[in-house]
Structure formats: structure tokens, C-alpha cells
């Protein structure tokens, strides 16, 4: 006995929208889309009516008005007379800066800790386990407070570096660790510096290209090319040659103590260091567990087979284990990156002027435009989160297993 689920062609009836498998999924999706649109319309209409009853309306003209407040940490030119839009842009760049720095450092620390957790050395393995368990089980907010307290209460003030009565000295006569932040030399760009920078960028691309070629050659022919020394040579030699040929166009401006503070150089403020390091070491503990799980997901026979071919342990990890482990590591790594970006909003606790502190804090309080500021804040975090997810997913799709 045969059961027909699809009606013959040419005999369409309305009941087929639910009973026919050819149309059922489309019908359910259409119903869900209509229900969602109606819900959004209802909520929007309700908000508009309530605002009208209060004599308010949604507009974004406040973005063009002067901000009227200063921002201590900024990557672009800004004064108190700049617009609220400019202040929001400064906050956005500050958020992106701390997110980038924290994601980079957390990845490096997390990968190292994850690999060392599987070390044959008992002491190293236990130390990494202690690090992971301690840091991931204490809220990141506590780590932010701890690091900021160390920066402000433990480190000396600029006066400690003054003259013959100095109780502290600069590291290499170029770096000063103070309770106001860390002062480092700033680059001075001269004529021809752009050529040096472009050479450096090309050198970095060349390192990746060489390593990819060496790996492909190994997989295709079994020929093993050296990795470390050629990579170091490609990274440094072309840039140094161009640097000296162009007459050393890039110099350094060192920080100097003038009056009650350091002048010149680059100041990395205490709030930035606190949020950067706290997010890095906290999230790195989670990444370490992802790396450990990914490595352990690779069959032990892969390692034994590679060792039987004569590969060293470092080569086995980089050429055999990690490429396969990345398929397990990357998906949760995306979530960790998103958490870093969203947790950066805690920077307001230590006075770091991220977008939450500028647009969602001072600007909101001064203008009273709570709905507009919150909507813009939500839109920013949504866009940056989707962008990070999309970029990492491209890499994830490139390394996943391809079925024939």
C-alpha cells in the first residue's frame, strides 16, 4: 500500500499549503515572517504613541550639537566643542581598539596555555590548570578592578622620576610605568617613511605566503623546508634594508618629564591597560580550554603516525594536530571574541571612554535622548558582532571538512 504526500501536478488547492510537503515549509516561514512584522509594527506604533503623548519625538539632530565634555583617551582629534557625533566616533574607535588588543592577546595567551595544559611536564601542566581554573571562575569585573588598582595604587607617580631624588627610573631610558599610565616612545614619520611601512606590510604578507608554500610543498611532495629562519629573514631583512637605504626616515620621540608629568611619546592610560589586560587574561582561560579540547579531539594515532615518520614534536603540533583541531576550536572562539567586544562596555567602571561611556553615558545624560542613544548603541554592537562573526566564519568554512 502506497501513501501519497504530494498531489499530482496541476491540481493545486489551498489545503495543499499545509498538507503538501512542497509548500508546507514556505507556508510556515511566511506565517512566521508576518507574525514577526506585526509584532515589530505593534511595538513601534506603541512607542510612537507614548512618545507623542509625552510631547516627544525620535530625532537625531542632537548628534550635530556640541558635546561639551572632554575625553582623555582618543585616537582622533577631539575637543569639548566637537559634536556629539564626533564624541560617539571617538568612543567607537576606543571600543574597537580595546577589542582588537584584547582579542589578539587573549588568542596568544589562550593558545599557549591550552597547549601547555597537555604538556608532559607535571609542573607546567598544573600551573596552566591553576591559571585556567582561577581566572575563568572569577568575574571579569573583579579582574578589571584588581588591575586598575595595581596601576593607580602600586605604581609610582611621575614625580618619582624627577632629578637626583628619583626613586624610580625609566626602562631602557624610554619607557615609564606610572600611576597615570605607561609612557612609550612615539614614532616620528619623515620623508620616505611610507615606503618603509609598505615594505613592512609586504614582508608580513611574504612570511604568510612562504609558510603556506612550504606547507603545501610538504603535503604534496614530502619535502620539508625550514620555517623559522626564512620567516625571520623575510620579516626583518627587507624592511631594515629599505629603512637604511631611505636614510632612516622613521625616528622616535621619547617621553620626558617636564613639570609634573611626562611630555612627548605615547601615553597608554591606566584605564585602557586595565580593561585590555583584564579582558585578555580572563577570556584566554576560556580559549585555553577550547584549544585543549580541540587538540584532544584529534586521534592519538595521528600524532603517533607523524612521529613514526620522523617529525619533531613542534612540527607534529603545527602541521598535523592544530590544523585538525582548528575545526573544533574556531566555532567557540567566535563566541569568545564576541564576549570580549561586548564585555568592553565594562570599561566605564574605570573611566575608559568607550562608546558606552560617551554615547550611552554622557551624551545620553546631557541630551536626554535615551531612546536614540540606546538604539544607536544597540546598532553598533549588533553590527560589530555580526562583522566579527562573518569574518571568522569565512575562515571556519575554509578549514572545515569538505565532502566529495
pTM: 0.81
Instruction: Tell me the residue range of the domain where 295 lies.
Output: 84-152+270-399
Residues sharing a CB contact under 8 Å with residue 90, sequence separation 6 or more, in sequence order: 71, 74, 75, 76, 78, 353, 358
Nearest to 242 by CA among 187, 204, 199, 201: 199
Does residue 403 surpass a pLDDT of 80?
A: no
- Whether 252 is in a domain gets the answer no
- Whether 308 is in a domain gets the answer yes
Q: Whole-number mean pLDDT of the chain?
A: 85
pLDDT in tens, 19-68: 777 777 788 888 899 999 999 999 888 888 887 787 777 778 888 888 88
What cell was used for 271? 584605564
Does residue 98 surpass a pLDDT of 80?
A: yes
- Whether 356 is in a domain gets the answer yes
Number of domains in the chain: 1
Q: How confident is the model at residue 1 (pLDDT cuts 50, 70, 90)?
A: very low
- Whether 52 is in a domain gets the answer no
Nearest to 18 by CA among 34, 8, 7: 7
CATH code of the domain covering residue 133 = 1.10.3720.10
Q: Which of 61-70, 226-235, 259-268 has the lowest mean pLDDT?
A: 259-268
- Whether 231 is in a domain gets the answer no
At residue 276, the pLDDT reads 92
In three state form, how does the secondary structure of 115-143 look?
A: HHCCCCCHHHHHHHHHHHHHHHCCCHHHH
What cell was used for 148? 586598575
- Whether 339 is in a domain gets the answer yes
- Whether 281 is in a domain gets the answer yes
Q: Are 190 and 250 in contact (CB under 8 A)?
A: yes
Q: What are phi and psi of 219, to 5 degrees?
A: -70, -35
Nearest to 101 by CA among 276, 220, 223: 276
Residues sharing a CB contact under 8 Å with residue 68, sequence separation 6 or more, in sequence order: 80, 81, 366
- Whether 330 is in a domain gets the answer yes
Alpha-carbon span 77 to 87, nearest angstrom: 10
Residues 65-90, mean pLDDT to the nearest whole number: 87
At residue 305, the pLDDT reads 85
Amino acid at each position: 500500500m502506497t501513501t501519497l504526500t504530494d498531489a499530482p501536478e496541476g491540481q493545486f488547492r489551498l489545503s495543499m499549503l499545509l498538507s503538501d510537503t512542497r509548500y508546507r515549509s514556505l507556508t510556515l516561514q511566511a506565517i512566521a515572517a508576518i507574525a514577526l512584522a506585526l509584532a515589530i509594527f505593534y511595538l513601534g506604533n506603541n512607542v510612537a504613541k507614548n512618545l507623542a503623548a509625552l510631547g516627544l519625538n525620535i530625532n537625531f539632530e542632537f548628534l550635530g550639537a556640541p558635546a561639551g565634555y572632554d575625553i582623555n583617551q582618543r585616537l582622533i582629534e577631539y575637543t569639548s566643542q566637537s559634536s556629539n557625533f564626533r564624541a560617539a566616533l571617538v568612543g567607537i574607535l576606543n571600543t574597537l581598539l580595546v577589542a582588537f588588543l584584547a582579542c589578539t592577546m587573549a588568542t596568544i595567551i589562550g593558545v599557549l596555555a591550552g597547549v601547555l595544559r597537555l604538556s608532559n611536564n607535571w609542573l607546567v601542566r598544573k600551573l596552566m590548570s591553576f591559571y585556567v581554573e582561577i581566572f575563568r571562575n572569577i568575574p571579569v569585573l573583579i579582574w578589571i578592578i584588581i588591575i586598575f588598582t595595581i596601576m593607580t595604587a602600586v605604581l609610582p607617580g611621575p614625580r618619582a622620576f624627577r632629578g637626583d631624588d628619583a626613586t624610580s627610573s625609566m626602562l631602557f631610558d624610554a619607557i615609564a610605568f606610572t600611576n597615570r599610565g605607561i609612557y612609550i616612545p612615539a614614532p616620528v614619520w619623515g620623508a620616505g617613511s611610507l615606503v618603509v611601512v609598505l615594505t613592512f606590510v609586504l614582508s608580513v604578507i611574504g612570511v604568510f605566503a612562504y609558510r603556506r608554500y612550504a606547507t603545501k610543498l610538504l603535503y604534496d611532495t614530502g619535502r620539508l623546508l625550514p620555517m623559522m629562519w626564512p620567516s625571520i629573514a623575510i620579516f626583518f631583512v627587507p624592511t631594515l634594508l629599505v629603512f637604511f637605504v631611505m636614510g632612516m626616515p622613521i625616528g622616535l620621540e621619547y617621553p620626558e618629564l617636564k613639570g609634573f608629568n611626562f611630555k612627548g611619546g605615547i601615553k597608554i592610560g591606566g584605564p585602557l591597560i586595565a580593561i585590555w589586560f583584564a579582558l585578555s587574561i580572563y577570556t584566554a582561560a576560556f580559549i585555553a580550554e577550547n584549544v585543549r579540547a580541540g587538540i584532544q579531539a584529534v586521534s592519538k594515532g595521528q600524532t603517533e603516525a607523524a612521529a613514526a615518520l620522523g617529525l619533531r614534536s613542534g612540527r607534529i603540533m603545527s602541521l598535523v594536530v592544530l590544523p585538525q583541531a582548528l575545526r573544533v576550536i574556531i566555532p567557540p572562539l567566535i563566541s569568545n571574541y564576541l564576549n570580549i567586544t561586548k564585555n568592553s562596555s565594562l570599561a566605564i567602571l574605570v573611566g575608559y571612554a568607550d562608546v558606552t561611556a560617551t554615547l550611552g553615558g554622557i551624551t545620553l545624560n546631557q541630551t536626554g535622548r535615551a531612546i536614540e542613544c540606546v538604539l544607536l548603541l544597540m546598532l553598533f554592537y549588533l553590527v560589530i558582532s555580526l562583522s566579527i562573526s562573518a569574518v571568522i566564519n569565512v575562515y571556519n568554512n575554509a578549514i572545515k571538512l569538505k565532502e566529495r
